[in-house]
Structure 1
Amino acid sequence: MSDPIKTTNPDGTATYQSMGDRDIAAEAVQGVAKAAVKLVDAFSNAADMSANMPADIRELLRSASSDIKNAPDTAFRAKAAADKHLANDMLYPAGRERLAKQEIGDAMAKVTEILDGADTKIDVADALLYQAARPAMPAGADVAARSDVKMVLDAANGLDMADSAKELAKRSDAVGALVADQGWLSLYMQSRKVDPRTADAIKVIVRNEMLQAAAESDDPKRVATGRTALALVNLRKAVIAARGYQRNAL
């Protein structure tokens, strides 16, 4: 059996690991980075980044995807540089540790900046996709649509309201456009004194149902934005995986 490997921690204490333990741990950490990349690829495969997608949204999502893939590479290079400093026996131990600590600190800040930026781009794209996927409100149809939606929802409470709103969100006409307006729906539920937790749940249900309907519609632009909005969950998971790699690698 090989001798355990000694690692000196920043506080001066020592940690001992066998070569096998270290290899297993390193492989597990690299697996997290690979998971982030796979999730970005899963997003790309499920999304519709064709010309049917508005160019500004497409660019936001491509930039966010690139950021997420680059973050683990930035962390990996910093860790390699830090290890090189620690192995440099031409320097005093304090100097080696100071350089390594600086390398890790700079990388931690850089990766955090990259992933925070990716999160922001995803949030902006998400909002834009939702608006683009909503059915168009025909000119002058809002009054009649408001009357129709209120007639249906006024007759419902609690879970019944969720079911009713879900059915309305499937429509591609003025009624569907109105119920998918999260601002209007929030104000309506406030006027009905719907419990805030129930109201939030109903808005999520309406959102998901509208996006699914858009993804399955006959309108190529709604299909593109609906499918892409639904696929964003993979990008959000990829950011979480990349942050996990950052925590464990640095």
Structure 2
Amino acid sequence: MSYTTGTNYRSIKSFSGGRGVVSQLRSSSASNYKNTNTSKTSSSSTGTSSSSNAVLATQLKTYSKIAENSADDLQKSGERLTATGENSLFGKAEKSKSTKDVVSTATDFVNNYNNILSSITKLGGTENKKFGSELKKYAEDNKDALKNAGITVLTDGSLTMNKKEMNAASLENLKKVFNGKDSFADKVTKLSSDIEENVKKKLKENLLVLGSGSSSTTNRKSSGSYFNALV
């Protein structure tokens, strides 16, 4: 008795060694489904990895640029504050009996100090951690002097300013923090130069690592060129 013309049930059973065509097709379909899903999962994983790398690269560039720009600006304001002589910022303030320009430059300096500390903390890395610790130590060592100048050291090492107190601070108290060799401003200014160079170097290294982590040649080339596009 046949189920289809020219084919009987017994021959169907024997076709796949007793398992039957239906069973064989089910097995084949299951295998294909598994392979398809595996392929999709692998593709999804690769896409997620590339997306994550792109996000990390963007964050690296952002925080690195903040650190670089802040370091450069801090060095400019730091050089003005630490300069000595009658034509220096403090020299002119002594003549005019006004701290207005000193406070303005000191405000820029503190803002850039905070930006550098925040950005290198987010960037991470052994060297940045070391630089961060040094910045915090300089602030902590000068905590009382900074307070007398209207600036408070917070627990995370960042600085907060009270403009009223800064404007009311004596030129002598401002000078102790910001003027001359080995002052707080002098130490931070010198360290910021090292921070800037390290950030540039580490950014390039990190982006190359992100690029080599991709299986796509295109992605590798793209990731490797992030730094070139940045500078």
TM-score where L is the length of structure 1: 0.32
Q: Which has the bigger relative contact order, CA under 8 A and spacing at least 6?
A: 1
**Whose Rg is larger?**
2
